[in-house]
Amino acid sequence: MSDGLNVGDTFLLSIPPNDKHLFVVIAPARSGKYLCVNLTSKRNNSDTSCVLQPGDHPFVKHESVINYKDTREVDPAVIQNQISRGNSQPYQSVSSEVLNRIQQGGLISKRLKNKYKEYLRIFLKIP
């Protein structure tokens, strides 16, 4: 992650009270921003549109899910600022296979806002 964000990039960001979460850049949004989702531990009431297992990414140590409900539009400059202040850190990008699973999960998730699904459809060239 150099001057900006690219689809597939990941970064750790502190989210109180649960410490750091891994965020994944899944698509361009608007006005130079990017759509980012975070991973969280799988629980009984989790959205299981995309489940990740250990081995899918070095950060994943136990069964985890994508938290589509809390998807964010992120400005790359804000993340760079957070990195320089020590509040965030870049992490290893996801593989193209895992990125595709996360994107496809977003399209079927009932918790992802429709405007974010539209950004995904546009980026993936899905009518």
Query: Which domains are seen in the chain, by residue range?
Result: 10-124 (2.30.30)
The reported pLDDT for the residue numbered 19 is: 78
Instruction: State residue 16 phi and psi, 5-degree precision.
Output: -60, 145
- Note the pLDDT of residue 34: 96
What integer pLDDT is reported at residue 3 of this predicted model? 58
pLDDT, tens digit, 9 for 90 and up, residues 23-57? 999 999 988 999 999 999 999 999 999 999 999 99
What is the CB-side half-sphere exposure of residue 70 using CA atoms within 13 A?
12
Q: For the residues 95-121, what does the mean pLDDT come to? A: 98
pLDDT at 20 over 90: no
Sheet holding 51-52, edge to edge: 51-52, 64-74, 34-41, 20-28, 10-14, 88-91
Write down the mean pLDDT value for the chain: 93
Q: What is the pLDDT of residue 86?
A: 86
Global pTM exceeds 0.75: yes
